[in-house]
Chains A and B, each alone.
Chain A
Amino acid sequence: MAFSNADAARAHLSEVLLRTGQEDREAFRELYSLTSAKLFGITHRICGNAQAAEDVLHEVYLTIWKRAGAWEPGRASPITWLATIARNRAIDWQRAQGVRRTSPLDDAPDIADPGEGAEAGMLASESSRELIECLDGLEPQQRDAIRTAFFDGVTYAELAVKRAVPLGTMKSWVRRGLARLKDCLDG
């Protein structure tokens, strides 16, 4: 059942996004109500403060309004396309500040560690489960670094500061982790 619900939700979101691409304001409103909590979760975590996260989210939806016509069903799922725009914009903002955020956020919700096992079974898609299981197979510091890079939008240098290890050590952890991840995904 979960699969068909997820499929139906995805189909609906695709349809709303396509209509947004035709400059349909009602569709845009619905798109916002369906996706703004997800995208705000992204900009809030990466920007690290609510005001900046709001401003970036505003920019993200303007971008979506302008570019929705460019989204091609079949190339990327609608939520992936939208989330990627939000993550990229938030990272652009964060890097433009020239300030390295190295401490964890106080008020951002935690991202569940699938290493604890619960989420893998709840994820709708096969490819989600596969990636999570492969991440689970990494050494803890490798997994932590890769997840932190994704969810916090940080670079090698910022990761090294966060974890208080030399840059070379961090690169080495991540690269070994990525190589193992690749082997696992191919396997």
Chain B
Amino acid sequence: MVDPIPDTGVPQDVAAAELALGLLEGEERGAALRRVLAEPGFAARVEWWRSRLAVLFDLWPEYAAPPHLAARIEASLDGPTTAKTSRFAWPALAAVTSAIAASLLLFVMVRPEPTVPVAQPVPVARASSVLVAMLGDAKSPVAAVYDPANGALRVAAGPGVPNARVAELWVIGGDGVPHSLGLLSGRPTSLAPKGVDRGRIAPGATLAISVEPLGGSPTGLPTGPVVATGVVARV
């Protein structure tokens, strides 16, 4: 193929595979994680690689765990760290990539925009900075990033919903009334809220996800269970 591929010219699929395999670290990993959030197409490729590579688990040799471990684990199930925080059907993806989601927020907060390599740290708090909300609990958050500059609201893969249901995103601002921002899917979604709703996505406002019939709430207000909420903050 191409002779030594420069770092900047890595094809999308190769970059997605690098992240899926866990080859990256430090800033390279941070850049790839930001890209997952920013580009639904890229996130889909990472997921594709993850599922393709997962067949290698078939080859992984078994190795018997020490006999005493089973009892030790079971004894700890009721420990303080095991409190069930949620009975909602979060997607498998969120469960297995919660560490990635957490790093994602960290990187989004540290570096609000994709940057070219520079020697100086990028200033974090600026008037034009993006707004972020983490919906749900710390274990399986759904990240939402709103860029007031272009009106784009990007949301990581939404929570899993039963068949014939859809996840709907709402903003609850100063009026205390939920206003629909659009429907989510199992993949990262980019929404473009209407003008009046844009103004509602402000620091302190609440974003919420409810489970609705296909096509979204028929009433204009949430009709199904609210499965995740988070507060909008400036980063």
Contacts and interface: CB of A to CB of B under 8 A. Distances in A.
Interface in A64-88: 65-67, 69-72, 75-77, 79-81, 83-85, 87-88
B147 interface: no
Centre residue among A36, A69, A70, A147 by max chain B CB count within 10 A:
A70
Contact of A75 (B64, B84, B91): B91
Contacts of A180: 1
B76 A81 contact: no
B79 to A, nearest CB: 8
Given A40-B64, A127-B52, A175-B5, A67 B17 contact: no
B17 A111 contact: no
B192 interface: no
Contacts of B5: 171-172, 175-176
B89 interface: yes
Nearest to B29: A155
A70 to B, nearest CB: 4
A150 B19 CA distance: 11
Nearest to B90: A70
Contact of B96 (A40, A84, A172): A84
B77 A153 contact: no
A119 B56 CA distance: 11
A92 B99 contact: yes
B128 interface: no
Contact of B55 (A33, A131, A147): A131
Interface stretch (B67-75, B108-116, B194-202): B67-75
A123 B61 CA distance: 13
Interface residues of A, number: 79
Nearest to B81: A62
Interface in B9-57: 10-11, 13-14, 17-18, 21-25, 50-57
Interface of A: 23, 25, 28-29, 32-33, 36-42, 44-45, 50, 54, 57-58, 61-62, 65-67, 69-72, 75-77, 79-81, 83-85, 87-88, 91-92, 95, 108-112, 114, 119, 123-125, 127-128, 131-132, 146-147, 149-151, 153-157, 159, 168, 171-172, 174-176, 178-182, 185
Interface of B: 1-2, 4-5, 7, 10-11, 13-14, 17-18, 21-25, 50-66, 69-70, 72-74, 76-77, 81-82, 84-97, 99, 139-140, 160, 186
20 contacts: A37-B63, A37-B64, A40-B64, A41-B63, A42-B57, A50-B66, A58-B73, A61-B73, A69-B90, A71-B95, A80-B54, A84-B96, A132-B59, A147-B56, A150-B56, A155-B24, A156-B24, A156-B25, A178-B17, A179-B14
